[in-house]
Amino acid sequence: RKEVEQDPGPFNVPEGATVAFNCTYSNSASQSFFWYRQDCRKEPKLLMSVYSSGNEDGRFTAQLNRASQYISLLIRDSKLSDSATYLCVEEGGTYKYIFGTGTRLKVLA
Amino acid sequence: DVKVTQSSRYLVKRTGEKVFLECVQDMDHENMFWYRQDPGLGLRLIYFSYDVKMKEKGDIPEGYSVSREKKERFSLILESASTNQTSMYLCASGLGGSGETQYFGPGTRLLVL
């Protein structure tokens, strides 16, 4: 069983919509989680870290649900430029970063 | 801005060739990583290094070796390239510590014929 699981999508949403992705993880002891964004044929870049208390950065909100072992990413007021693949990452131990396969988002005009 | 550079964006090699992929970071980061990314499999860790001359195996080290002679440079070596090593190779660096941000290079797309 893969340790970090994501719905591959694609999620096709109109501009201005709100969209949410979930990512499940299997190691209940994991402490740190992240969302990275990867544009087509580019390298991943950190979008935001996920804290136990939740984390908000502009239109983006990340949350952690330890009881159900998932993290979520909410994007409000989607822009065309939000089109990308969003990678969920779990820090499963020292230097052990487990990447999900990504959820593809397409924002349509 | 952190900059991580990789020696080549695209590389075509023949089976059995020795391949060197180089990665350089300019932020004095302790940690450096090599991943490969394949469709449907996500990023998988090949090797990482937490200090000069130190290296640890990741999840898929077979067929690869690494070298870190200087803090800013981390090399990935394919001793004898095989077709199943055709992939996108991504280098990353990080400051260290729990919750570190990883900064990725632009990637090297390697095709082994």
Please, what's the b/e burial string for B36-51 (b: 16 or more CB within 10 A of its CB; e: otherwise)?
A: bbeeeebbbbbbbbbe
Q: Is the pLDDT of residue A1 over 60?
A: no
- Find the mean pLDDT for residues B87-111: 91
**What's the mean pLDDT in B22-39?**
95
Gap between the Cα atoms of A55 and A63, Å rounded: 6
Three-state SS at B101 = coil
Band of pLDDT at residue A4, cut at 50, 70 and 90: very high
CB contact under 8 A, B50 and A101: no
CB contact under 8 A, B42 and A97: no
Per-residue pLDDT at B8: 92
Distance from CA of A23 to the nearest CA of B (A): 14
Can you tell me the distance from the alpha carbon of B39 to that of B26, in angstroms, rounded to the nearest whole number?
30
